[in-house]
């Protein structure tokens, strides 16, 4: 369910930008320059009030449309706002969850997950309306009716415990990636190891992409008992290192005494060393 991103622009094809130029380009009459500038500002994490304001305006853009009715500039603006960490974007991103374009809703949910503002919970929960029964593929499109993975992950990330009963049924959704997102959120909201273990089991899947997804989820939730299973998973070392880094950082946050390293933290680092 991942749309080909603007990363496909290679450095050679794209005009070299400066911060000032990128901000100016957001208002350019050339829509492709606006689209590129929105991506560039997010990628380079240009934290500037003017940038955030301009990107919030771009979330309402009507000029840039695809044949299918999509809003490319809105998608990039929503993605960029998640990277800039400015909470002023939250109300506009919540509004974007109602956009007719699936990919705008997905980008908004992903960005709300990184901004972690609990006020987004009711709007995110709205997207789970109808439960698993409504979470079916849209005919002719490569995605479901809603961006369920992103919504479930966002609810977990922001700590929306009121959503637990809505999330739990998605553990049995027919799409494995949605199941993973539900397990990830359930673990974050309950800290119950059985959800972490579900993700560990996915590391034995025959599907390499799914194993990578599970690694990402385990890293995101910092599920320490998975450390050895992560190190032994049949996945490229780069993915394992990122997952173990997630475990390590989670562990460091738990430790109040910053002057000494715990046995667990050292164990994770030894595993990381072995993967270099």
Site of interaction with another protein (CB under 8 A): 234, 236-238, 241-242, 245, 248-249, 252-253, 261, 265-266, 269, 272-273, 276
The residue among 28 and 237 lying less far from another protein, judged by its C-beta, is 237
- Residue 255 in tokens: 């430790």
222: which DSSP letter? T
Taken as a whole, the chain contains a residue count of: 276
The residue among 186 and 265 lying less far from another protein, judged by its C-beta, is 265
Q: Specify the DSSP element, H or E, that contains 151.
A: helix 148-157
The residue among 132 and 252 lying less far from another protein, judged by its C-beta, is 252
Minimum CB–partner distance for residue 275 and another protein (Å): 8
The residue among 129 and 238 lying less far from another protein, judged by its C-beta, is 238
Minimum CB–partner distance for residue 208 and another protein (Å): 11
What is the full DSSP assignment across 160-219?
-GGGHHHHGGGGG-SSHHHHHHHHHHHHHHH--HHHHHHHHHHTT-S-HHHHHHHHHHHH
- Which residues are bridge partners to 144 per DSSP? 137
Minimum CB–partner distance for residue 155 and another protein (Å): 25
**Phi then psi dihedrals of residue 144, to 5 deg:** -80, 180
Question: How many other C-beta atoms can be found within 10 angstroms of the C-beta atom of residue 207?
Answer: 12
Minimum CB–partner distance for residue 10 and another protein (Å): 14
The residue among 124 and 241 lying less far from another protein, judged by its C-beta, is 241
d(CA 185, CA 35): 32
Minimum CB–partner distance for residue 191 and another protein (Å): 21
């Amino acid at each position: 369910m991942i749309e080909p991103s603007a990363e496909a622009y290679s450095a050679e094809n794209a005009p070299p930008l400066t911060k000032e130029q990128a901000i100016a380009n957001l208002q350019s009459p050339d829509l492709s320059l606006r689209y590129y500038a929105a991506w560039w500002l997010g990628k380079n994490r240009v934290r500037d009030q003017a940038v955030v304001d301009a990107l919030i305006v771009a979330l309402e853009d009507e000029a840039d449309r695809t044949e299918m009715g999509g809003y490319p500039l809105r998608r990039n603006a929503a993605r960029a706002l998640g990277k800039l960490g400015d909470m002023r974007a939250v109300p506009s991103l919540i509004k974007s969850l109602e956009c007719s374009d699936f990919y705008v809703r997905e980008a908004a949910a992903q960005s709300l997950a990184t901004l972690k503002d609990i006020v987004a919970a009711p709007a995110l929960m709205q997207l789970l309306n109808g439960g698993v029964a409504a979470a079916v593929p849209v005919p002719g499109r490569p995605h479901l009716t809603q961006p369920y993975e992103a919504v479930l992950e966002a609810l977990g990330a922001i700590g929306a415990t009121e959503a637990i009963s809505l999330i739990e049924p998605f553990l049995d959704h027919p799409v494995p990636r949605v199941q993973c997102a539900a397990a990830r959120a359930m673990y974050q909201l309950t800290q119950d190891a059985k959800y972490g273990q579900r993700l560990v089991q996915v590391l034995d899947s025959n599907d390499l992409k799914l194993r990578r997804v599970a690694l990402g989820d385990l890293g995101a939730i910092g599920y320490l008992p998975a450390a050895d299973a992560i190190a032994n998973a049949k996945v490229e070392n780069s993915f394992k290192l990122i997952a173990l880094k997630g475990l390590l950082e989670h562990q460091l946050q738990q430790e109040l005494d910053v002057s000494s390293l715990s046995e667990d933290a050292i164990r994770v680092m030894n595993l990381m060393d072995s993967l270099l």
